[in-house]
Structure 1
Amino acid sequence: MKALWKGGISFGLVNIPVRLYSGAVTHRIDLDMIRKKDQCAIQYVRVCKADGKEVPWDEIAKGYKKENGDYVILDKADFEKATPEKTQTIDIFEFVLEDEIPSQYLEKPYIVEPAKEATKTYALLREALKKSGKVGLAKFVLRTAPHLGILKVENDAILLIQIRFDQDLRDPFEAKIPKSVKLEKKEVEMALSIIDQLTEKFEPEKYKDTYKEDLLKIIKEKSSAKPAKKVGKRKKPTESEEVEEGADELLELLKASLDSIKN
Protein backbone atom coordinates (compact mmCIF):
# COMPACT_ATOMS: atom_id res chain seq x y z
CA MET A 1 0.00 0.00 0.00
CA LYS A 2 1.13 3.50 -0.80
CA ALA A 3 0.68 6.18 1.87
CA LEU A 4 -1.59 9.05 0.82
CA TRP A 5 -0.41 11.41 3.53
CA LYS A 6 2.30 11.70 6.18
CA GLY A 7 2.03 13.84 9.26
CA GLY A 8 0.98 13.59 12.88
CA ILE A 9 -2.03 13.34 15.16
CA SER A 10 -2.21 16.22 17.62
CA PHE A 11 -3.58 14.85 20.92
CA GLY A 12 -3.30 17.55 23.58
CA LEU A 13 0.42 18.28 23.78
CA VAL A 14 1.27 14.87 22.29
CA ASN A 15 2.11 14.52 18.61
CA ILE A 16 1.89 11.06 17.07
CA PRO A 17 3.71 10.71 13.70
CA VAL A 18 1.49 8.68 11.36
CA ARG A 19 0.82 7.73 7.74
CA LEU A 20 -2.63 7.59 6.14
CA TYR A 21 -3.72 4.86 3.76
CA SER A 22 -6.99 4.64 1.90
CA GLY A 23 -9.33 2.34 3.79
CA ALA A 24 -11.30 1.32 0.69
CA VAL A 25 -10.60 0.11 -2.85
CA THR A 26 -12.65 0.42 -6.02
CA HIS A 27 -13.13 -2.49 -8.42
CA ARG A 28 -13.34 -0.91 -11.84
CA ILE A 29 -12.72 -2.09 -15.38
CA ASP A 30 -11.11 0.48 -17.69
CA LEU A 31 -13.28 0.88 -20.78
CA ASP A 32 -12.48 3.09 -23.78
CA MET A 33 -15.02 5.16 -25.68
CA ILE A 34 -15.05 4.04 -29.34
CA ARG A 35 -17.05 4.58 -32.51
CA LYS A 36 -19.26 1.51 -32.82
CA LYS A 37 -19.06 0.92 -36.57
CA ASP A 38 -15.24 0.78 -36.90
CA GLN A 39 -13.95 0.73 -33.27
CA CYS A 40 -12.13 4.02 -33.74
CA ALA A 41 -11.07 5.48 -30.37
CA ILE A 42 -12.82 8.69 -29.33
CA GLN A 43 -10.71 11.72 -28.46
CA TYR A 44 -12.07 14.56 -26.35
CA VAL A 45 -11.05 18.08 -27.33
CA ARG A 46 -11.62 21.48 -25.72
CA VAL A 47 -13.77 23.47 -28.15
CA CYS A 48 -15.00 27.06 -27.93
CA LYS A 49 -18.81 27.11 -28.06
CA ALA A 50 -18.78 30.42 -29.98
CA ASP A 51 -16.54 29.56 -32.95
CA GLY A 52 -16.11 25.77 -32.69
CA LYS A 53 -12.30 26.01 -32.61
CA GLU A 54 -10.11 23.89 -30.34
CA VAL A 55 -8.57 25.84 -27.44
CA PRO A 56 -5.03 24.98 -26.21
CA TRP A 57 -4.48 24.53 -22.46
CA ASP A 58 -2.37 27.68 -22.11
CA GLU A 59 -5.34 29.81 -23.24
CA ILE A 60 -7.81 28.28 -20.80
CA ALA A 61 -8.80 30.00 -17.55
CA LYS A 62 -11.40 29.28 -14.87
CA GLY A 63 -14.30 31.66 -14.44
CA TYR A 64 -17.35 32.21 -12.23
CA LYS A 65 -20.48 33.06 -14.21
CA LYS A 66 -22.42 36.06 -12.93
CA GLU A 67 -26.17 36.56 -13.28
CA ASN A 68 -25.69 38.86 -16.28
CA GLY A 69 -23.72 36.16 -18.13
CA ASP A 70 -20.28 37.77 -17.69
CA TYR A 71 -17.45 35.89 -15.99
CA VAL A 72 -15.13 36.72 -13.12
CA ILE A 73 -11.79 35.16 -14.11
CA LEU A 74 -9.80 33.49 -11.33
CA ASP A 75 -6.06 32.92 -11.55
CA LYS A 76 -3.61 30.76 -9.60
CA ALA A 77 -3.03 33.46 -6.96
CA ASP A 78 -6.78 33.67 -6.25
CA PHE A 79 -6.98 29.93 -5.58
CA GLU A 80 -3.88 30.07 -3.37
CA LYS A 81 -5.52 32.78 -1.22
CA ALA A 82 -8.63 30.63 -0.71
CA THR A 83 -6.73 27.38 -0.13
CA PRO A 84 -6.36 26.54 3.59
CA GLU A 85 -2.91 26.48 5.08
CA LYS A 86 -1.46 23.08 4.29
CA THR A 87 -0.63 21.43 7.60
CA GLN A 88 0.66 17.96 8.35
CA THR A 89 -1.52 17.54 11.40
CA ILE A 90 -4.72 15.67 12.20
CA ASP A 91 -5.82 18.01 14.95
CA ILE A 92 -8.17 16.48 17.54
CA PHE A 93 -10.19 19.36 18.95
CA GLU A 94 -13.08 17.54 20.62
CA PHE A 95 -14.29 14.12 21.77
CA VAL A 96 -17.85 12.91 21.16
CA LEU A 97 -19.90 9.73 21.41
CA GLU A 98 -19.95 7.96 18.06
CA ASP A 99 -23.69 7.28 18.42
CA GLU A 100 -24.27 11.03 18.30
CA ILE A 101 -23.05 11.17 14.69
CA PRO A 102 -25.86 10.37 12.20
CA SER A 103 -24.83 7.90 9.50
CA GLN A 104 -25.33 10.37 6.64
CA TYR A 105 -22.30 12.32 7.87
CA LEU A 106 -19.91 9.36 7.38
CA GLU A 107 -18.04 9.59 4.10
CA LYS A 108 -14.67 7.87 3.63
CA PRO A 109 -12.38 5.63 5.72
CA TYR A 110 -8.60 5.89 6.10
CA ILE A 111 -6.23 3.56 7.95
CA VAL A 112 -3.89 5.31 10.38
CA GLU A 113 -0.46 3.67 10.72
CA PRO A 114 2.06 4.88 13.32
CA ALA A 115 5.65 5.68 12.47
CA LYS A 116 8.15 3.28 14.09
CA GLU A 117 9.03 5.75 16.82
CA ALA A 118 5.35 6.41 17.64
CA THR A 119 4.21 2.89 18.57
CA LYS A 120 3.71 3.71 22.26
CA THR A 121 1.87 7.01 21.76
CA TYR A 122 -0.33 5.36 19.11
CA ALA A 123 -1.17 2.56 21.56
CA LEU A 124 -1.87 5.16 24.26
CA LEU A 125 -4.40 7.00 22.09
CA ARG A 126 -5.96 3.69 21.03
CA GLU A 127 -6.39 2.55 24.64
CA ALA A 128 -7.76 5.94 25.72
CA LEU A 129 -10.34 5.91 22.91
CA LYS A 130 -11.36 2.33 23.76
CA LYS A 131 -11.82 3.00 27.48
CA SER A 132 -13.61 6.31 26.97
CA GLY A 133 -16.04 4.85 24.45
CA LYS A 134 -15.64 8.06 22.47
CA VAL A 135 -14.20 9.16 19.12
CA GLY A 136 -11.89 12.07 18.44
CA LEU A 137 -13.33 14.82 16.26
CA ALA A 138 -10.49 16.19 14.14
CA LYS A 139 -9.62 18.68 11.41
CA PHE A 140 -7.11 17.93 8.68
CA VAL A 141 -6.09 19.13 5.22
CA LEU A 142 -5.71 16.51 2.50
CA ARG A 143 -4.23 17.71 -0.79
CA THR A 144 -5.66 21.25 -0.83
CA ALA A 145 -9.05 20.75 0.82
CA PRO A 146 -9.99 21.05 4.51
CA HIS A 147 -11.77 18.03 5.98
CA LEU A 148 -13.51 16.96 9.14
CA GLY A 149 -13.11 13.45 10.51
CA ILE A 150 -13.40 11.16 13.50
CA LEU A 151 -10.63 8.99 14.90
CA LYS A 152 -12.01 5.68 16.18
CA VAL A 153 -10.70 2.26 17.11
CA GLU A 154 -11.66 -0.78 15.04
CA ASN A 155 -10.11 -3.95 16.44
CA ASP A 156 -6.50 -2.85 17.04
CA ALA A 157 -6.37 -0.17 14.35
CA ILE A 158 -7.11 3.52 14.60
CA LEU A 159 -9.24 4.60 11.65
CA LEU A 160 -9.81 8.13 10.43
CA ILE A 161 -13.34 8.36 9.04
CA GLN A 162 -13.80 11.46 6.93
CA ILE A 163 -17.19 13.03 7.64
CA ARG A 164 -19.23 15.58 5.76
CA PHE A 165 -19.67 19.16 6.89
CA ASP A 166 -23.24 19.95 7.90
CA GLN A 167 -23.55 22.48 5.06
CA ASP A 168 -22.91 19.68 2.53
CA LEU A 169 -25.98 17.70 3.57
CA ARG A 170 -29.42 18.20 2.12
CA ASP A 171 -32.49 18.33 4.30
CA PRO A 172 -34.40 15.06 3.64
CA PHE A 173 -37.63 17.03 3.77
CA GLU A 174 -36.67 18.75 0.50
CA ALA A 175 -38.12 15.51 -0.86
CA LYS A 176 -41.77 14.60 -0.27
CA ILE A 177 -41.37 12.69 3.00
CA PRO A 178 -44.62 11.68 4.76
CA LYS A 179 -44.66 12.87 8.37
CA SER A 180 -47.75 11.27 9.86
CA VAL A 181 -49.56 8.28 8.37
CA LYS A 182 -52.23 6.20 10.10
CA LEU A 183 -51.17 2.54 10.32
CA GLU A 184 -53.16 -0.45 11.48
CA LYS A 185 -51.77 -2.28 14.52
CA LYS A 186 -51.82 -5.61 12.68
CA GLU A 187 -49.86 -4.14 9.76
CA VAL A 188 -47.10 -2.92 12.12
CA GLU A 189 -47.00 -6.27 13.94
CA MET A 190 -46.61 -8.20 10.67
CA ALA A 191 -43.91 -5.80 9.44
CA LEU A 192 -42.03 -6.39 12.71
CA SER A 193 -42.44 -10.14 12.24
CA ILE A 194 -40.80 -9.87 8.81
CA ILE A 195 -37.89 -7.94 10.37
CA ASP A 196 -37.52 -10.61 13.08
CA GLN A 197 -37.54 -13.42 10.52
CA LEU A 198 -34.86 -11.74 8.41
CA THR A 199 -32.64 -10.58 11.28
CA GLU A 200 -29.07 -11.96 11.11
CA LYS A 201 -25.72 -11.04 12.56
CA PHE A 202 -23.94 -8.56 10.27
CA GLU A 203 -21.09 -10.38 8.50
CA PRO A 204 -19.82 -8.06 5.74
CA GLU A 205 -17.59 -10.73 4.18
CA LYS A 206 -20.77 -12.54 3.05
CA TYR A 207 -21.71 -9.74 0.67
CA LYS A 208 -19.73 -9.55 -2.57
CA ASP A 209 -19.82 -7.02 -5.40
CA THR A 210 -19.79 -9.36 -8.40
CA TYR A 211 -20.23 -6.66 -11.07
CA LYS A 212 -16.57 -6.67 -12.17
CA GLU A 213 -16.26 -10.47 -12.47
CA ASP A 214 -19.64 -10.70 -14.21
CA LEU A 215 -18.62 -8.03 -16.72
CA LEU A 216 -15.23 -9.69 -17.33
CA LYS A 217 -17.04 -12.97 -17.97
CA ILE A 218 -19.28 -11.27 -20.54
CA ILE A 219 -16.22 -9.65 -22.19
CA LYS A 220 -14.48 -13.04 -22.39
CA GLU A 221 -17.57 -14.70 -23.89
CA LYS A 222 -18.09 -11.92 -26.44
CA SER A 223 -14.43 -11.87 -27.46
CA SER A 224 -14.56 -15.57 -28.43
CA ALA A 225 -18.13 -15.74 -29.72
CA LYS A 226 -19.23 -15.54 -33.36
CA PRO A 227 -21.30 -12.51 -34.41
CA ALA A 228 -24.93 -13.05 -33.44
CA LYS A 229 -27.65 -13.24 -36.06
CA LYS A 230 -30.16 -10.42 -36.16
CA VAL A 231 -33.54 -11.29 -34.74
CA GLY A 232 -36.90 -9.64 -35.13
CA LYS A 233 -38.39 -7.34 -32.54
CA ARG A 234 -40.02 -9.04 -29.61
CA LYS A 235 -43.79 -8.85 -29.62
CA LYS A 236 -45.18 -6.56 -26.95
CA PRO A 237 -47.30 -8.51 -24.43
CA THR A 238 -51.01 -7.85 -24.38
CA GLU A 239 -52.71 -6.40 -21.32
CA SER A 240 -53.86 -9.85 -20.24
CA GLU A 241 -50.27 -11.11 -20.37
CA GLU A 242 -48.82 -8.29 -18.32
CA VAL A 243 -48.32 -8.82 -14.59
CA GLU A 244 -50.57 -6.71 -12.51
CA GLU A 245 -48.75 -4.78 -9.79
CA GLY A 246 -50.14 -3.19 -6.69
CA ALA A 247 -53.48 -5.02 -6.84
CA ASP A 248 -53.11 -6.72 -3.46
CA GLU A 249 -53.82 -4.99 -0.20
CA LEU A 250 -50.91 -4.10 2.10
CA LEU A 251 -51.94 -6.66 4.72
CA GLU A 252 -52.07 -9.47 2.15
CA LEU A 253 -48.62 -8.53 0.85
CA LEU A 254 -47.20 -8.60 4.38
CA LYS A 255 -48.78 -11.99 5.02
CA ALA A 256 -47.41 -13.37 1.74
CA SER A 257 -43.97 -12.02 2.65
CA LEU A 258 -44.06 -13.82 5.98
CA ASP A 259 -45.23 -17.07 4.36
CA SER A 260 -42.41 -16.96 1.81
CA ILE A 261 -39.81 -16.46 4.55
CA LYS A 262 -41.14 -19.33 6.62
CA ASN A 263 -41.25 -21.64 3.60
Structure 2
Amino acid sequence: MKAIWKGSISFGLVNIPIKLYSGATAHRIDLDMIRQKDKCPIQYVRVCKKDGKEVPWDDIAKGYRKENGDYVILDKSDFAAIAPEKTQTVDIFEFVKEEEIPPQYLEKPYITEPAKEAKKVYALLRDALKKSGKVGLCRFVMRTTQHLGILKVEEDAILLIQIRFNDELRDTGEVNLPSDIKISKKELDMATSIIEQLTGKFEPEKYKDTYKEELVKMIKKKAAAKKGEKPAPVKRRKKTTDKDDLLEQLKASLAAVKS
Protein backbone atom coordinates (compact mmCIF):
# COMPACT_ATOMS: atom_id res chain seq x y z
CA MET A 1 0.00 0.00 0.00
CA LYS A 2 1.41 3.38 -1.02
CA ALA A 3 1.42 6.34 1.36
CA ILE A 4 -0.45 9.38 0.00
CA TRP A 5 0.82 11.91 2.56
CA LYS A 6 3.70 12.27 5.00
CA GLY A 7 3.76 14.55 8.01
CA SER A 8 3.11 14.47 11.73
CA ILE A 9 0.34 14.57 14.32
CA SER A 10 0.66 17.58 16.62
CA PHE A 11 -0.44 16.61 20.15
CA GLY A 12 0.27 19.46 22.56
CA LEU A 13 4.01 20.04 22.27
CA VAL A 14 4.57 16.51 20.95
CA ASN A 15 4.96 15.72 17.24
CA ILE A 16 4.32 12.19 15.97
CA PRO A 17 5.79 11.59 12.47
CA ILE A 18 3.32 9.56 10.39
CA LYS A 19 2.46 8.29 6.94
CA LEU A 20 -1.12 8.52 5.73
CA TYR A 21 -2.80 5.79 3.71
CA SER A 22 -6.22 5.80 2.09
CA GLY A 23 -8.61 3.85 4.30
CA ALA A 24 -11.01 2.87 1.52
CA THR A 25 -11.00 1.61 -2.06
CA ALA A 26 -13.55 2.30 -4.78
CA HIS A 27 -15.42 -0.63 -6.35
CA ARG A 28 -15.28 0.73 -9.86
CA ILE A 29 -14.77 -0.71 -13.31
CA ASP A 30 -13.41 1.71 -15.91
CA LEU A 31 -15.69 1.91 -18.94
CA ASP A 32 -14.72 3.85 -22.07
CA MET A 33 -17.14 6.00 -24.06
CA ILE A 34 -17.33 4.66 -27.64
CA ARG A 35 -19.36 5.18 -30.79
CA GLN A 36 -21.82 2.28 -30.81
CA LYS A 37 -21.82 1.40 -34.51
CA ASP A 38 -18.04 0.88 -34.92
CA LYS A 39 -16.69 0.88 -31.31
CA CYS A 40 -14.54 3.94 -32.03
CA PRO A 41 -13.28 5.57 -28.77
CA ILE A 42 -14.55 9.08 -28.12
CA GLN A 43 -12.07 11.88 -27.46
CA TYR A 44 -13.10 14.91 -25.43
CA VAL A 45 -11.84 18.29 -26.58
CA ARG A 46 -12.09 21.82 -25.18
CA VAL A 47 -14.30 23.77 -27.57
CA CYS A 48 -15.31 27.42 -27.46
CA LYS A 49 -19.11 27.75 -27.27
CA LYS A 50 -19.09 30.83 -29.48
CA ASP A 51 -17.02 29.80 -32.51
CA GLY A 52 -16.82 26.00 -32.03
CA LYS A 53 -13.02 26.01 -32.25
CA GLU A 54 -10.78 23.87 -30.02
CA VAL A 55 -8.97 25.86 -27.31
CA PRO A 56 -5.36 24.90 -26.36
CA TRP A 57 -4.51 24.58 -22.65
CA ASP A 58 -2.23 27.68 -22.77
CA ASP A 59 -5.22 29.85 -23.68
CA ILE A 60 -7.47 28.57 -20.89
CA ALA A 61 -8.08 30.56 -17.69
CA LYS A 62 -10.45 30.12 -14.75
CA GLY A 63 -13.24 32.60 -14.25
CA TYR A 64 -16.21 33.33 -11.97
CA ARG A 65 -19.39 34.24 -13.82
CA LYS A 66 -21.19 37.33 -12.50
CA GLU A 67 -24.95 37.89 -12.66
CA ASN A 68 -24.59 40.08 -15.76
CA GLY A 69 -22.83 37.24 -17.61
CA ASP A 70 -19.37 38.82 -17.46
CA TYR A 71 -16.44 36.92 -15.91
CA VAL A 72 -13.90 37.74 -13.22
CA ILE A 73 -10.60 36.11 -14.31
CA LEU A 74 -8.52 34.39 -11.62
CA ASP A 75 -4.87 33.47 -12.22
CA LYS A 76 -2.32 31.38 -10.30
CA SER A 77 -1.21 34.31 -8.13
CA ASP A 78 -4.80 34.89 -6.98
CA PHE A 79 -5.15 31.27 -5.84
CA ALA A 80 -1.69 31.36 -4.21
CA ALA A 81 -2.61 34.48 -2.21
CA ILE A 82 -5.57 32.80 -0.51
CA ALA A 83 -4.25 29.22 -0.27
CA PRO A 84 -3.96 27.84 3.28
CA GLU A 85 -0.47 27.62 4.71
CA LYS A 86 1.03 24.39 3.40
CA THR A 87 1.96 22.42 6.50
CA GLN A 88 2.64 18.74 6.96
CA THR A 89 0.90 18.62 10.32
CA VAL A 90 -2.37 17.18 11.58
CA ASP A 91 -3.08 19.71 14.34
CA ILE A 92 -5.30 18.48 17.20
CA PHE A 93 -7.06 21.52 18.67
CA GLU A 94 -9.83 19.93 20.77
CA PHE A 95 -11.13 16.63 22.11
CA VAL A 96 -14.81 15.65 21.98
CA LYS A 97 -16.99 12.58 22.48
CA GLU A 98 -17.42 10.72 19.20
CA GLU A 99 -21.19 10.29 19.70
CA GLU A 100 -21.53 14.10 19.63
CA ILE A 101 -20.60 14.11 15.92
CA PRO A 102 -23.65 13.37 13.70
CA PRO A 103 -22.90 10.71 11.02
CA GLN A 104 -23.62 13.09 8.12
CA TYR A 105 -20.38 14.94 8.96
CA LEU A 106 -18.17 11.87 8.39
CA GLU A 107 -16.65 11.83 4.91
CA LYS A 108 -13.41 9.94 4.20
CA PRO A 109 -11.20 7.56 6.25
CA TYR A 110 -7.40 7.42 6.33
CA ILE A 111 -5.05 5.07 8.21
CA THR A 112 -2.09 6.60 10.06
CA GLU A 113 1.20 4.73 10.48
CA PRO A 114 3.94 6.00 12.82
CA ALA A 115 7.56 6.36 11.82
CA LYS A 116 9.89 3.81 13.48
CA GLU A 117 11.20 6.36 15.97
CA ALA A 118 7.67 7.48 16.93
CA LYS A 119 6.03 4.16 17.77
CA LYS A 120 6.00 4.76 21.55
CA VAL A 121 4.49 8.25 21.29
CA TYR A 122 1.95 6.94 18.77
CA ALA A 123 0.99 4.15 21.17
CA LEU A 124 0.72 6.69 24.00
CA LEU A 125 -1.74 8.87 22.03
CA ARG A 126 -3.68 5.78 20.91
CA ASP A 127 -4.02 4.42 24.45
CA ALA A 128 -4.88 7.84 25.88
CA LEU A 129 -7.64 8.32 23.30
CA LYS A 130 -8.96 4.84 24.04
CA LYS A 131 -8.96 5.44 27.80
CA SER A 132 -10.63 8.87 27.49
CA GLY A 133 -13.33 7.60 25.12
CA LYS A 134 -12.82 10.75 23.07
CA VAL A 135 -11.64 11.67 19.57
CA GLY A 136 -9.29 14.46 18.57
CA LEU A 137 -10.67 17.24 16.39
CA CYS A 138 -7.95 18.34 13.99
CA ARG A 139 -7.07 20.43 10.94
CA PHE A 140 -4.81 19.40 8.10
CA VAL A 141 -3.93 20.59 4.58
CA MET A 142 -3.89 18.18 1.66
CA ARG A 143 -3.41 19.18 -1.97
CA THR A 144 -3.66 22.91 -1.11
CA THR A 145 -7.05 22.45 0.59
CA GLN A 146 -7.68 22.72 4.32
CA HIS A 147 -9.72 19.92 5.87
CA LEU A 148 -11.35 19.20 9.19
CA GLY A 149 -11.02 15.75 10.72
CA ILE A 150 -11.12 13.54 13.77
CA LEU A 151 -8.47 11.15 15.06
CA LYS A 152 -10.04 8.03 16.55
CA VAL A 153 -8.83 4.62 17.63
CA GLU A 154 -9.79 1.46 15.74
CA GLU A 155 -8.13 -1.66 17.19
CA ASP A 156 -4.37 -0.88 17.12
CA ALA A 157 -4.60 2.00 14.64
CA ILE A 158 -5.33 5.70 14.89
CA LEU A 159 -7.65 6.57 12.03
CA LEU A 160 -7.95 10.04 10.56
CA ILE A 161 -11.53 10.58 9.45
CA GLN A 162 -12.04 13.63 7.23
CA ILE A 163 -15.27 15.39 8.21
CA ARG A 164 -17.38 18.00 6.48
CA PHE A 165 -17.59 21.63 7.51
CA ASN A 166 -20.99 22.68 8.83
CA ASP A 167 -21.77 24.94 5.86
CA GLU A 168 -21.27 22.01 3.47
CA LEU A 169 -24.35 20.23 4.80
CA ARG A 170 -27.80 20.99 3.44
CA ASP A 171 -30.74 21.79 5.70
CA THR A 172 -33.40 19.06 5.78
CA GLY A 173 -35.95 21.87 5.72
CA GLU A 174 -35.15 22.38 2.03
CA VAL A 175 -37.09 19.24 1.08
CA ASN A 176 -40.75 18.33 1.52
CA LEU A 177 -41.07 15.96 4.47
CA PRO A 178 -44.30 14.44 5.88
CA SER A 179 -45.47 16.13 9.07
CA ASP A 180 -49.25 15.68 9.45
CA ILE A 181 -49.54 12.04 8.37
CA LYS A 182 -51.74 9.84 10.56
CA ILE A 183 -50.33 6.39 11.30
CA SER A 184 -52.60 3.82 12.97
CA LYS A 185 -51.41 1.92 16.05
CA LYS A 186 -51.77 -1.37 14.16
CA GLU A 187 -49.55 -0.14 11.31
CA LEU A 188 -46.94 1.22 13.72
CA ASP A 189 -46.90 -1.99 15.82
CA MET A 190 -46.45 -4.12 12.71
CA ALA A 191 -43.66 -1.92 11.34
CA THR A 192 -41.95 -2.09 14.75
CA SER A 193 -42.26 -5.88 14.73
CA ILE A 194 -40.49 -6.04 11.35
CA ILE A 195 -37.66 -3.91 12.78
CA GLU A 196 -37.36 -6.19 15.84
CA GLN A 197 -37.34 -9.32 13.66
CA LEU A 198 -34.58 -7.90 11.45
CA THR A 199 -32.49 -6.51 14.31
CA GLY A 200 -28.97 -7.94 14.49
CA LYS A 201 -25.35 -7.04 15.22
CA PHE A 202 -23.52 -4.88 12.71
CA GLU A 203 -20.92 -7.11 11.03
CA PRO A 204 -19.59 -5.19 8.00
CA GLU A 205 -17.67 -8.16 6.59
CA LYS A 206 -21.02 -9.81 5.76
CA TYR A 207 -22.01 -7.10 3.30
CA LYS A 208 -20.63 -7.14 -0.23
CA ASP A 209 -20.91 -4.75 -3.17
CA THR A 210 -22.63 -7.13 -5.57
CA TYR A 211 -22.98 -4.57 -8.38
CA LYS A 212 -19.32 -4.89 -9.46
CA GLU A 213 -19.57 -8.71 -9.41
CA GLU A 214 -22.75 -8.65 -11.50
CA LEU A 215 -21.22 -6.16 -13.95
CA VAL A 216 -18.12 -8.38 -14.44
CA LYS A 217 -20.40 -11.40 -15.02
CA MET A 218 -22.43 -9.42 -17.55
CA ILE A 219 -19.27 -8.29 -19.41
CA LYS A 220 -17.93 -11.86 -19.55
CA LYS A 221 -21.30 -13.20 -20.67
CA LYS A 222 -21.61 -10.64 -23.45
CA ALA A 223 -18.01 -11.19 -24.53
CA ALA A 224 -18.59 -14.94 -24.80
CA ALA A 225 -22.00 -14.66 -26.48
CA LYS A 226 -22.36 -15.13 -30.19
CA LYS A 227 -22.75 -12.03 -32.32
CA GLY A 228 -26.31 -10.76 -32.21
CA GLU A 229 -27.17 -12.86 -29.16
CA LYS A 230 -28.57 -11.00 -26.16
CA PRO A 231 -28.19 -12.19 -22.55
CA ALA A 232 -31.35 -13.01 -20.62
CA PRO A 233 -32.91 -9.91 -19.03
CA VAL A 234 -32.42 -9.41 -15.29
CA LYS A 235 -35.62 -9.90 -13.32
CA ARG A 236 -36.60 -6.89 -11.26
CA ARG A 237 -38.61 -6.89 -8.08
CA LYS A 238 -42.17 -5.65 -8.48
CA LYS A 239 -42.51 -2.07 -7.31
CA THR A 240 -45.30 -1.24 -4.88
CA THR A 241 -47.43 1.86 -5.37
CA ASP A 242 -49.48 4.15 -3.14
CA LYS A 243 -52.58 2.33 -4.36
CA ASP A 244 -51.40 -0.89 -2.68
CA ASP A 245 -52.79 -1.42 0.81
CA LEU A 246 -50.11 -0.47 3.36
CA LEU A 247 -51.35 -2.86 6.03
CA GLU A 248 -51.31 -5.80 3.58
CA GLN A 249 -47.75 -4.93 2.57
CA LEU A 250 -46.73 -4.88 6.23
CA LYS A 251 -48.40 -8.25 6.90
CA ALA A 252 -46.68 -9.79 3.88
CA SER A 253 -43.33 -8.29 4.93
CA LEU A 254 -43.65 -9.64 8.47
CA ALA A 255 -44.60 -13.08 7.20
CA ALA A 256 -41.61 -13.10 4.84
CA VAL A 257 -39.24 -12.09 7.63
CA LYS A 258 -40.54 -14.80 10.01
CA SER A 259 -40.23 -17.49 7.34
Q: What letter corresponds to residue 161 of structure 1 in structure 2? A: I
Does 179-188 or 110-119 show the bigger shift?
A: 179-188
* 1:31 to 1:139, Cα distance in 2 relative to 1, 3 A: same
2:10 equivalent in structure 1: 10
How far apart are the structure 1 equivalents of 2:54 and 2:22?
38
1:222 aligned partner, one-letter code: K
- Shift in alpha-carbon separation, 1:200–1:63, aligned structure 2, 3 A: same
Deviation per residue, 1:182-212 (Å, 9 max, x gap): 3322222221111110011111111111222
Q: Report Cα offsets for 1:75-124 as digits up to 9, x if no partner.
A: 00001112101111100000011101001000000001111111011001
- Work out the CA distance in 2 between the residues paired with 1:173 and 1:13: 43
State whether structure 2 residue 224 is matched by structure 1 residue 228.
no
Unaligned 5+ residue runs, structure 1?
231-241
How many residue pairs end up in the alignment?
252
C-alpha change, 1:127 and 1:243, in structure 2 (3 Å) is: closer
Matched residue, 2:183: 183
Deviation at 1:229, TM superposition (A): 5.7
The runs of at least 4 aligned residues of structure 1 exceeding 4 Å deviation read: none
Quote the residue 2:215 is aligned against. Answer: 215
Tell me the distance in 2 between the aligned counterparts of 1:72 and 1:248. Answer: 55
What CA deviation, in whole Å up to 9, does each residue of 1:146-205 have, x standing for no partner?
000000001111000000000000001100112353332222222111111001111111
Distance of aligned partners of 1:206 and 1:75 in 2 relative to their CA distance in 1, 3 Å threshold: same
Q: Which moved more, 1:96-105 or 1:202-211?
A: 202-211
Secondary structure, aligned partner of 2:24: coil
1:64 aligns with 2:64: yes
Q: Are the structure 2 counterparts of residues 261 and 57 from structure 1 closer, same or farther at C-alpha, using a change threshold of 3 Å?
A: same
**Take 1:14 and 1:163, find their aligned partners in 2: how far apart are those partners?**
24
SS in 1 for 2:80: helix
- C-alpha separation between the residues in 2 aligned to 1:243 and 1:77? 55
Are residues 244 and 120 of structure 1, via their aligned partners in 2, closer, same or farther at CA, if it must alter by over 3 Å?
Answer: closer
Cα offset, 1:8, TM superposition? 0.6
> Structure 1 residues 63, 154: CA separation in 2 closer, same or farther (over 3 Å shift)?
same
**Judging changes above 3 Å, is the alpha-carbon distance between structure 1 residues 5 and 243 closer, same or farther for their aligned structure 2 residues?**
closer
Residues 1:254 and 1:45: Cα distance change in structure 2 (over 3 Å): same
Give yes or no for the alignment of 1:52 onto 2:59.
no
Instruction: Answer yes or no: is 1:116 the counterpart of 2:112.
Output: no
The yes-or-no answer on 1:156 pairing with 2:163 is no
1:255 to 247, 251, 255: 251
Give 1:33 shift. 1.1
Looking at structure 2, the residues matched to 180 and 9 of structure 1 have their Cα atoms a distance apart, in angstroms, of 50
Counterparts of 1:130-149 in structure 2 under 5 Å? 130-149=130-149
Change (3 A) 1:156 1:168: same
Q: RMSD in angstroms over aligned alpha carbons? A: 1.7
Change (3 A) 1:249 1:53: same
Q: So what's the TM-score if we normalise by structure 2?
A: 0.93
Structure 2: gaps (5+ residues): 231-237
Aligned pair in 2 of structure 1 residues 250, 211: CA closer, same or farther (>3 Å)?
closer
Deviation at 1:256, TM superposition (A): 2.1
- After superposition, give the CA deviation of every residue in 1:46-98 in whole Å (9 maximum; x if it has no partner): 11111111111101101111111111111000011121011111000000111
TM-score by length of 1: 0.91
Who is 1:94 aligned against?
94
Q: Secondary structure at the match of 1:213?
A: helix
Identify the range of structure 1 (31-40 vs 84-93) with the bigger mean alpha-carbon deviation.
Answer: 31-40
Partner residue in 1 for 2:35:
35
Quote the Cα distance in structure 2 between the aligned partners of 1:175 and 1:142. 33
